[in-house]
Amino acid sequence: MNLKYDVVIVGGGVAGISCAYNCAKKKLRTLLVEKENYLGGDVTGALVVPVMKNNNSNINCDFYNVLVNYAKKFDSQITYSDGNTGWFNPILIKNVFDQMLKNVGADILFESVPVNFKKNENFIEKVNFSFEALSLPIVSKYFVDATGNAELSKLLNCEFWSDTQMTQPPSLRFIVSGVDLESLANFLEEIDSDKNVTTTYRIDSQIHLSTAYTWDTNKKWALAPYFEKAVKEGVLKDTDRAYFQIFTIAGMANSVAFNCPRIQNYDKNNPIESSNAIIEARASIYRIYNFVKNYIPGFENSYISNIAPKIGKRETKRVKCKYDYTINDLLEQKQFDNPALVSDYPVDIHSDKKDGSTLHKVCSYMLPIESLKSKDYENLYIIGKIAGTDFKSQAALRVQSSCMSMGEAVAKDIFQNC
């Protein structure tokens, strides 16, 4: 078997799916390779919902807009009270991604990873992928690394950024079902009447809501007394309350998605310690669940219905590209001739230390297409959270809407060059 494509995208997270969708729509022979047997990456594997709202002047949003319409048909999308259309269902959306790609004629290769390659100077000629016991040599004009951890670029011996300033903790997200949302919404509206961080929204007969609490002291958290009591009574460990955020889920009545716990002491250079940290995070989920069940109205008859199969890693390897995009470009709102996206999402740096996290609000900024073109290979693009950006600007650019725009911008660039 010798397979030939115009473009091969490795990694089926939102960046890779958007790129594959837009390439195939332009009639390029397109293959999306994914190591799991489902698409969505962090969205479906790490249960990361909703899409963080971007400003209205973003570009390269065709994929996102079509996704919203598809998801609506599959009962897996709602538009929240602030106009955010990206409240998706992280389970049902797997099917949405499949259908979108099949409808535009993209090939998908699940359960495969790149294992070796052939190059001619700074052009990649062929990549071999493993599938079960098979080795699949695949020839393509262009390759795209959308693996969320630069796995293709590692194989290709590309150059990486080395400016990581701190370790941002990953999270292990989970879902609790059987929640009485009426009772929870009433409670939250009562304790957080000035709407410090709580929002509640009634769509027809369905309640949607969101609230948060962290152990950082920079904000007056309405839930603080409940967390403090639970720590005092030994129901929660102090670190369990480092970060707590909940959202209801489109198409899942009476369910709440938890954007926590933060995984403490995850050290990517120490595999056994990291595995112990994941085990401890799963234990933390049980403590957080017991806390909400016993301290927060609405959770009395609830149960844990899902624990994410994958941990959500905010921080990743980042690949050196033709333009080194830095936090100064972002803060100075530097203008570029070929922007891939426009965003105003803040610089969102998570820390596992108390008062160590920062959320720095910024004005509208652009990322140039050159920060998505590999420095080492002429026919390699880098998209998603591994793009050619420094540590701090990645903390703003990694949100899903930006990753999708990167994929779309690269598809346009490939189409122009093909």
Ligand X SMILES: Cc1cc2nc3c(=O)[nH]c(=O)nc-3n(C[C@H](O)[C@H](O)[C@H](O)COP(=O)(O)OP(=O)(O)OC[C@H]3O[C@@H](n4cnc5c(N)ncnc54)[C@H](O)[C@@H]3O)c2cc1C
Q: What is the dihedral of CA 56, 96, 8, 22, to 10 degrees?
A: -40
147 binds ligand X (CB under 6 A): yes
Report if residue 67 touches ligand X, rule: CB under 6 A: no
CA dihedral of residues 117, 118, 120, 126 (deg, nearest 10): -80
Among positions 94, 126, 398, 412, the unique one binding ligand X when judged by CB under 6 A:
398
3-state secondary structure of 363: coil
Site for ligand X in 283-342 (CB under 6 A): 312-314
Yes or no: say if 256 and 183 are a contact pair by the CB < 8 Å rule. no
Nearer to ligand X, 14 or 24 (CB): 14
Stretch touching ligand X by CB under 6 A, among 30-38, 329-337, 363-371, 374-382: 30-38
Give me the residue label for tokens 């790490």. 46
Q: What are phi and psi of 242, to 5 degrees?
A: -60, -40
DSSP code per residue over 248-284: E-TT-TT-EEE---B-TT--TT-HHHHHHHHHHHHHH
> CB neighbours (10 Å) of residue 182?
13
From the CB of 38, what's the least distance to ligand X, in Å? Answer: 8
Q: Looking up tokens 């080194």, which residue turns up?
A: 324
Nearest distance, CB of residue 404 and ligand X, angstroms: 8
Output 293 or 313, the one with its CB closest to ligand X.
Answer: 313
CA separation, residue 71 to residues 24, 58, 104, 157, 370 (Å): 19, 21, 16, 38, 32
Residue closer to ligand X, measured from CB, 8 or 223: 8
Among 3, 26, 36, 274, binds ligand X (CB under 6 A): 36
Q: Is 8 in the site for ligand X (CB under 6 A)?
A: no
Residue closer to ligand X, measured from CB, 154 or 295: 154
> Bridge partners of 90?
none
The one segment of 14-22, 191-199, 317-325, 363-371 that binds ligand X by CB under 6 A: 14-22
The nearer residue to ligand X, 13 or 251, going by C-beta atoms, is 13
- Which residue, 51 or 327, is less far from ligand X as judged by CB? 51
**Which part of the chain contacts ligand X (CB under 6 A), choosing from 9-17, 228-236, 272-280, 370-378?**
9-17
3-state SS, residue 398: coil
The reply on whether position 388 binds ligand X by CB under 6 A is no
List residues bridging with 137 in a β-sheet: 128
Q: Rule CB under 6 A: which residues touch ligand X?
A: 10-16, 33-36, 41-43, 46, 48, 51-52, 113-114, 146-149, 151, 171, 312-314, 384-385, 398-400, 403
